[in-house]
Structure 1
Amino acid sequence: MDYLRIENFKCFYNIEVGFNRLTVLAGANGNGKSTTIQALLFLRRTIEHCAQWDNAEGFDSGFYSITKPNGLNVELNGSYCLALGNSNYILPRNYKKDTIELGITNGVGTFKIVYDSNDGELWLTPIAVVGESDKSGLFMQEFYYLNAERMGPRISQAIKFYDYPNAGFQGEYVAQLLGDTNFNYNFRVDEKRKHSKAPSPYLEQQVNAWLNEIMPGVKVSASYSTETHSAQVRVDNYFTKGEPTIATNIGFGISYVLPILVTGLIAKSGSYMVVENPEAHLHPSAQSKIGRFLAHIAQSGVNVIVETHSDHIINGVQISAAKAEIKPELVTINFFSQKEGEPQPDVEPISINKLGELSKWPTGFFDQSQIDFAELFKIRKG
């Protein structure tokens, strides 16, 4: 297991958050889940911005390498959809030092970057690098992030350049990936990620197989035009009767889930895939199935990090463990909460066994249904 080390960053004074092959961040609003993801994204952006590119073993096996600061500042807003304001917003309220530290500990050792917080600037300044970068997921070129605010239905999406195939931070490249014939003919979905009912390794066929699993009867197709520099996704379901319609005529759920499916199927093994609120705009049954899909992708070798407020996502992961679709020891659920008198949020790891049972059920961990049922019972009893 890897550990994300956070010191003097927003609500955290000093904490380590465990990351497994499949890591779920759960808990009430305002308890540090988003801060944890922001810390990871900012660390990743620093590596991209300040490291050297090493592809001595070939283009497909390159890694970032950083041994010391290169004098560049790292922006707090823009990259990875970060909107952190200025540096005064980064330090916690009662900080005792004005430096910030972000890093990761794994089987190789500890790597961290120390930043000068400056004073009200729109950036942080790396001033020291401790430890050595390695060839783990954080230093790979491929890094996949899906923001909670993904693109809704669009008639078309613009074609854009990308360094490596990805769905974009908000799903803006999905139509392009599905519609680009050259990419689809050359790319093959990993055997470990293929849907059991779809033998074809091509991306569109695999996306549709998983989409039908999550939303029965739904199918997508895509077109790609170099003349208009645009791509379009069209959707078919039980009611369109074989005549696909534009995405704007169907709804948000499909547009929100497509980037998750596409990213999971194309993500490079060993890389990070970070997904915020995969449950957005989905029916509870679809939420459970997307939880199982993410577990499937994690089992195949991708480091999946999920922030969620949905117990159905958790249920899907539990079912996946019980069905031996993912090894239970590869799953960690981090529950973020407040404890009276503590200066920072508490992060409690929860594991799953081979029966899909959780190791613990802390107070406030997806127990609102029981609380509401109890309240209704009291009301009905008068």
Structure 2
Amino acid sequence: MLEHIHLDNFKAQQAADLDFSKINVLTGFNSTGKTTVIQALAFVKQSLQRREVSFNDYLLRLGDLREVAYRHDTSTPIGIDIAVRIDGEQLGYRLSVGEDGVEETFAVNGEDAWRWDSRAEGVIEASGRLFLPVAAGGYGAGTYLTDDPAATVARQKKLLSWFENALYLSSNRGFTKYNYPLLAGNPTIEDISNRAGDASALEEWLSNLIIYRINESKRYPEMQKRLDVMSERLRMLGVEISPYVMSGPSVVIDLAEDGMWVSAVNSGYGVNQSVASVVLGTLSEPGSLVMIEEPETHLHPRYQRTMTRILSDMAAEGKQVLITSHSDHVLHTLGGLVKDGDVARDDVSVYHFEKRDRITHADVVDVEDDNALSALFE
């Protein structure tokens, strides 16, 4: 589980320190750095997968270092420090990116265990290349700072696996005719692109993923239970989902609304925005981090409350949920779940983002305090 993130000079955040629980909500005013926190995690994920600093890839397109650096000042490196608890140990990864190269550090329970610095004397590798994935493969990259490098490698593999399973869903996407940059298990979005061309739509990829899981359930009955939960959650939002294969490699989704079949592409924004969140969040593995920007987008208030309950149920399944939200319905529903005992108080963290003197501050909010929650939206 993600326990902590520290950001330096990354986009809207000059300096940020956030602790996380099972369910986490980042709320507050526009352009105060809520999305920045999630994008920092997605940026590290896609960079580790590419084994190099990747500002523009399948999850995010951020521009370049100058665009990402706080106030466009590249004289100070951007820094991202992430702490994750896996199998009872805290595993940390720090990434520093500047004009003169990168530095990576891997830590175990707060003690540095491995380091790579492209700026060190005598290094001839490309300055933007990342070596944690290389080291985790057992190829000895970087410098080990412990007496047991093999144990460090095993821990590095665990952290990389956690990043692989992390799910990032950007808002305002829905089913479109254009690329939808996501990744969530097999098949990957890249697999679909390779088979069907670069213009593969979200519905095609989701259908492939669902059919893959349906076939998987024939071998592993536990998967069928997850598919049943997925279907029930979609019904809570008023839709049914039906993937089917067309001619060639194409696979598409239809949605049933009030008994009538509607192409997912032509369905309402609220529906097709929510289907991806429900499907991918439900089918993600326990231990995964599920990041969703504004899951309430285009939803009626009743369905905003329903979506909040669905997200809390995902957390009860052993997943960690991190969302940004502008909805008082989301926060009040979450507060009600805590007060009713359906969600443990310690399992919820809410931060309100606000700029004061041009500096972003993230203040902790008591989710059980109705007056405090209402005051956020006055």
The CA deviation string for residues 7-64 of structure 1, in whole angstroms up to 9 with x for no partner, is 12122222211221111110110111011111121122333333xxxxxxxxxxxxxx
The CA deviation string for residues 220-245 of structure 1, in whole angstroms up to 9 with x for no partner, is 222135x52111212223252xxx33
Aligned to 1:379: none
* Pair 201,162 (structure 1): closer, same or farther in 2 beyond 3 Å: closer
1:263 offset after TM fit, Å?
A: 1.5
Are residue 300 (structure 1) and residue 311 (structure 2) matched? no
* Cα contact 2:204–2:253 (8 A) shared by 1: no
State how far apart, in whole Å, the 1-side matches of 2:179 and 2:56 are.
24
* Pair 305,284 (structure 1): closer, same or farther in 2 beyond 3 Å: same
1:302 offset after TM fit, Å?
A: 0.6
The CA deviation string for residues 61-114 of structure 1, in whole angstroms up to 9 with x for no partner, is xxxxxxxxxxxx31211231x221111122223859522221123564573434
Are residue 358 (structure 1) and residue 337 (structure 2) matched? no
Normalising by structure 2, we get a TM-score of: 0.72
The CA deviation string for residues 292-340 of structure 1, in whole angstroms up to 9 with x for no partner, is 110111122111110111111212322332343322211101110112x
* Amino acid in the other structure paired with 2:254: R
Are residue 232 (structure 1) and residue 233 (structure 2) matched? no
- Number of aligned residues: 315
* Cα contact 2:26–2:325 (8 A) shared by 1: yes
Stretches of structure 1 lacking an aligned partner (at least 5 in a row): 51-72, 120-124, 191-199, 368-382
* Pair 186,337 (structure 1): closer, same or farther in 2 beyond 3 Å: farther
* Amino acid in the other structure paired with 1:117: G
Aligned to 1:310: 327
Aligned to 1:207: 230
State how far apart, in whole Å, the 1-side matches of 2:245 and 2:203 are.
16
Aligned to 1:183: 216
Aligned to 2:186: 164
Aligned to 1:75: 54
* Amino acid in the other structure paired with 1:103: D
Please, which of 114, 120, 131 is the counterpart of residue 107 of structure 2? 131
Report the more deviating stretch, 136-145 or 317-326. Answer: 136-145
* Pair 184,87 (structure 1): closer, same or farther in 2 beyond 3 Å: same
Please, which of 336, 355, 358 is the counterpart of residue 319 of structure 1? 336
Please, which of 263, 267, 272 is the counterpart of residue 289 of structure 2? 272
Aligned to 1:262: 279
Please, which of 157, 164, 170 is the counterpart of residue 147 of structure 1? 170
* Cα contact 1:157–1:175 (8 A) shared by 2: no
Percent identity among equivalent residues?
21
SS of equivalent to 1:79: coil
* Amino acid in the other structure paired with 2:318: G
State how far apart, in whole Å, the 2-side matches of 1:96 and 1:254 are.
41
State how far apart, in whole Å, the 2-side matches of 1:171 and 1:187 are.
25
State how far apart, in whole Å, the 2-side matches of 1:94 and 1:223 are.
47
* Cα contact 1:103–1:110 (8 A) shared by 2: no
Aligned to 1:103: 81
Pairwise CA RMSD: 3.4
Aligned to 1:219: 240
Stretches of structure 2 lacking an aligned partner (at least 5 in a row): 109-154, 191-200
* Pair 34,172 (structure 1): closer, same or farther in 2 beyond 3 Å: farther
